[in-house]
Every structure is written in C-alpha cells, then in structure tokens.
Chains A and B, each alone.
Chain A
C-alpha cells in the first residue's frame, strides 16, 4: 500500500479536525502519479469532488483498500497500519500551520527518501514531494 500525506514543517497534519492546508497542484500531482484509482475516506474525497472520477471513497480505508493500492490519508493515525504501508509519498507544505494532530510515524527511523521533487502550487510557493520507502527494501 502506498500512502499520500501532506504535512507542515512540524510534521503537523490537522488542526481542530481540519486539514492545515490544501493546494490544487497537489491533487493534480497525486492523480498524475497513479494510473489506477486513489482510495480515500469521505473527508478527503471532498477535496476531489469536482476534480476526478479516479477516487474510491471508503471510510474503512486500511481494511478495504488492496495491498497494491494508493491511499490519500489526512485524518487517520498511521502507526497502527504501518506494517501495511510499503511507501509513503509526503507533500511538504514548507510552512508552519497550527497543528494538534501530527504524523505518528518517524520517517527518519525506518524510512528513507527514495526520490524528491519540488513544484509550485496554486497557493504555495514551493511544495516538496518526497517518496519514502522502508530502509530494508
């Protein structure tokens, strides 16, 4: 399973149960990166409402998505499902936002960046995309 996430400079993901930020360029980048469909829960699917029919909405994401699927995750703790995750594609906002929910995986411990890409967003000057894979792979 490959996971897409978005985080700020403090590894923050949410504040008050709401995403910290959004950018249309990230959505397009995600869609372009996946040949098939992207799985996500209802909360995240609202971002894609008018953008793509490549979205599969499933609130029990980690139980239902196939092993080789791509999943966009915004508000689900990942630690519990870490064993199911083969790769993590992280979009860094390169800013600090308010946060009360943080990425609960230590990317420096068990993961290593396989590739990095930078691009401009519609509301962000620079977004950095890093693909992390397990160190033992």
Chain B
C-alpha cells in the first residue's frame, strides 16, 4: 500500500514523473491489489484468463525466425506498459483544455495487442482516489441503453457548488475515466473522478467522441488508457493523461496522447479538497475566458459554450478601433485580441503574432475578433 500512496506523492503539477505515477502504481494495483479487468462480454474469470493466456507460439529452435508467431499481450502487460523509460513533464496550463504529449504517440506498448474488447479499472487508493482505467474499446462493450443515475457516487474531492459563469451552473461533474459511451460502465466508483464542466466537456468528451465514431464506423478496436494525475495527497486530480490507439490498423485511424487539465476558466480551484472560488482578479478586470471557442459552426454558435455566457455579460463593448491599431493574433485559434486582453497572457508564445494595421484586414486574413475584448 505504501507504493500505491507513492504514486500520488510523486506527482508534481508542472513536473510530473509519469513513470512513477503510472508504472509502479498500476503494476502494484494489477498484481497485488487486484484491479478489475473485464472482457468484452459478461465478466467471467475464465474469459479474462483467455486473454491473458493467449496461446504463445514458442519458436522452435530449428524454425526460421520469420515464422515466429508473437505473443498477444495480456491485459496486465498492456495496462502497465509505459515508454519511454524516462520522466515526462506536463506543461503548465496555458488556456487550452489539453496539451499534446510525446508527439501524440501513446506511452503504452503498441505491438501485439489483442483484438478482443476488455476493460480494466484500478482499485481506489487509501485516499479513495481512482487510478488508471484502460479499455480495448469495441462495439461489443458499447452501451445499448441510456446512461443511468450516477449521483450516488461521491468521487474524491467532490463538492456540490454552482457558479453563474459555468455552463449548467454546476462546477463539478462526475467524470467517467472511460466514458460511458465507450464502455457502458455506469456507476463504477473506480471509473469516476471529480472534474470540472470544462474538463469534462471541452477536454475529455471530444476524444471520446472521436473514438466512439471510429469504432462504430469501422468495427475496429481502440486501446484507450486514462490515467488521473494527483499532486501529493490532493483529492482532486490535476488532470488526466489520455492515450488512444486504433488496434487493427495500427494507429492509422486513432493515435493520440494528451494531458487534459482539470480546470475551469475564471474559477480558482484548491486541488487538495476541491474547494473553489471565483477568480476575482479576472472578474475585476473583465478578462476573457482563456478557453474561448474557436470560430464555430454558425448553426452551433450559442450561449451554451462553457464560459460563453459569462463573457457576454461581463464585457462592455468598446468603440470601433481606428486603422493602424495594434493587435495580437492567435495563430492557433484564429482569434485576434487587443494587446491588453487577458487572453493574450493565457496564449502560448508560439501562437502569438503581433499585427499593427486595419481591423478589416485582420478579418480578411481569416481571423475573428475575440468575444471578450471585442477588438
């Protein structure tokens, strides 16, 4: 149990040694603590064993090397695999819901993967926190019914709190590690963490959607691992590492590795216990939502975007800018801002571009005005 505890105390928010988080902890959970693995159909121990004990074609001494049949990895081997064998840093949050890790290549091993569906959920640790969850997502484990009630689960760090500037008002969701739409896993405490609305909807959901569509359209499998990262004894995860890889086509359809931040724009969160309060500095200066949506589908543009309501209510509309005005362009989001706009501070340096000129010219370049500073 001590090593399981060390999984969490090893994590640093800006400098997380993933090897210490994932490998020892998950190995311990799998080998000693008995995390739950389930095959595609109704769980039967024999079926798990079936995967784990996939016949291994041993190479006979006199057989040619090219005829060697490689072993299909077991669930344990998959869940615990982690490459490279060095520490990995997580960048600080800079206003985007997720950041790409390892050039989008999953850390888990990507060879000799099974083409049968399975699910794995780590046991809770002594603080009641979730560990890694992993699934080989296939159509056979996807739900056929609407999701049931999960309100009886109180994940670590859970707080019931509302804010006017949070879409739906509730700051926290019970967030499935392996999304319900992928596994049909409903009220499993080993699969639910406390996460902000922004984290859930802007961070995790897009990746789950991408996997779900791919699996439904191809009938292939996607190996998907979600690892919550806690700092010290914090009860609220700072975020989750999400890795996905399409098995049958060897990553041709799905291949990603991202860290999703458990944050909510304009809200300050205490990760030790999940308590929160408005970011007074940002509200006082009416600074924009760093996670402002990009130029969107005209039909889909509405106030339901997280943070959108707050921004529209809190910002005064400035006078039209004269020609020759200075702007900061975000080459990633294709938004442009006044230099004093709070979003500029949240912007990654690589995405910043200074521009001095006419507003119409900026728009003609394909940029849209920031909805908060309204340049």
B216 CB, nearest partner CB in chain A, Å: 4
Tell me whether A11 and B104 are in contact (CB under 8 A).
no
Contact A96 B298 (CB under 8 A): no
A11-B296, A16-B256 given; A96·B202 CB < 8 A: yes
Whether, in the assembled complex, A98 has its beta carbon less than 8 Å from a beta carbon of chain B, the answer is yes
Partner of B210, one of A98, A104, A109: A98
| A24 interface residue per 8 A CB criterion | yes
CB of B213 within 8 A of CB of A92, answer no
Contacts of A117 in B (CB 8 A): none
| Complex interface: chain B residues within 8 A of A98 (CB) | 98, 206-207, 210, 256, 258
Q: Closest CB-CB distance, B306 to chain A, in whole Å?
A: 11
Are A97 and B206 touching (Cβ within 8 A)?
A: yes
Chain A 18-37, CB-CB to B under 8 Å as 1, else 0, gives: 10111110000000000000
Name the residue of chain A whose CB is nearest to the CB of B203. Answer: A98
A123 touches B217 (CB 8 A): yes
Interfacial chain B residues near A123, Cβ < 8 Å: 212-213, 216-217
Q: Is the CB of B104 within 8 A of A16?
A: yes
Main secondary structure of the interface of B (DSSP, over half): mixed
Residues of A within 8 A of B166 (CB): none
Question: What CA separation (Å) do A94 and B206 show in the bound complex?
Answer: 12
Residue of A nearest to B366 (CB): A106
Interchain CB contact under 8 A, A15 and B210: yes
Q: Any chain B CB within 8 A of the CB of A124?
A: yes
Q: How far is the CB of B301 from chain A (nearest CB, A)?
A: 8
Q: A22-B217, A79-B366, A96-B202 are in contact. Are A9 and B212 (CB under 8 A)?
A: no
A42 sits at the interface (CB 8 A): no
- Annotate B273-302 by CB proximity to A: 1 below 8 A, 0 otherwise: 000000000000000000001111111100
B88 within 8 A of A: no
Establish whether residues B255 and A92, one from each chain, have CB atoms under 8 Å apart when the complex forms: no
For the complex, is B334 an interface residue (Cβ under 8 Å from A)? Answer: yes
Bound form: Cα–Cα A2–B214 in Å: 27
C-alpha spacing A102/B189, complex, angstroms: 37
A102–B363 contact, CB under 8 A?
A: no
B256 pairs with A15, CB closer than 8 A = yes
Determine the chain A residues whose CB is within 8 A of the CB of B253 once the complex forms. 18
Least Cβ distance of A115 to chain B in Å? 14
Could you say which of A18, A97, A128 has the most chain B C-beta atoms within 10 Å of its C-beta?
A18
B255 partner residues in chain A, CB cutoff 8 A:
16, 18
Residue-wise interface mask of A (103-134) relative to B, using a CB-CB cutoff of 8 A (1 in contact, 0 not)? 01111110000000000001110001000000
Question: CA of A102 to CA of B255 in the docked complex: distance in angstroms?
Answer: 18
Closest to B251 in A: A18
Expressed in whole angstroms, the minimum distance between the Cβ of B204 and any Cβ of chain A is 10
User: Which of B216, B297, B364 is in CB contact (< 8 Å) with A7?
Assistant: B297
Query: By the criterion CB–CB under 8 Å, are B254 and A18 in contact?
Result: yes
Distance between Cα atoms of A100 and B96 in the complex (Å):
12
Q: Which residues of A contact B207 (CB under 8 A)?
A: 98
The residue on A at minimum CB distance from B246 is A18
Chain B nearest CB, measured from A89 CB (Å): 15
B23 — which chain A residues lie within 8 A by C-beta?
none
CA distance A130 to B334 in the complex (A): 22
Q: Are B214 and A22 in contact (CB under 8 A)?
A: yes
Q: Report how far A10 CA is from B201 CA in the complex, Å.
A: 14
CB distance from A15 to the nearest CB of B (A): 7
Cβ of A11: which chain B residues have Cβ within 8 Å of it?
A: 294-297
Asked if B209 is at the interface (CB within 8 A of a chain A CB), the reply is yes
Q: List 28 A-B contacts (CB under 8 A).
A: A8-B297, A10-B297, A11-B295, A11-B297, A16-B256, A20-B210, A22-B214, A23-B213, A23-B217, A24-B217, A92-B299, A94-B297, A94-B299, A95-B206, A96-B205, A96-B209, A98-B206, A98-B207, A98-B256, A102-B294, A104-B366, A106-B295, A108-B298, A122-B217, A123-B213, A123-B216, A123-B217, A128-B299
Ranked nearest first, the 7 interchain pairs of A and B with the lowest CB-CB distance are: A123-B216, A10-B294, A9-B300, A16-B104, A21-B213, A9-B297, A123-B213
A residues apposed to B, CB below 8 Å? 7-12, 15-16, 18, 20-24, 79, 92, 94-98, 100, 102, 104-109, 122-124, 128
4 more contacts with CB within 8 A, not counting A96-B205, A97-B206, are A15-B256, A16-B256, A96-B209, A128-B299
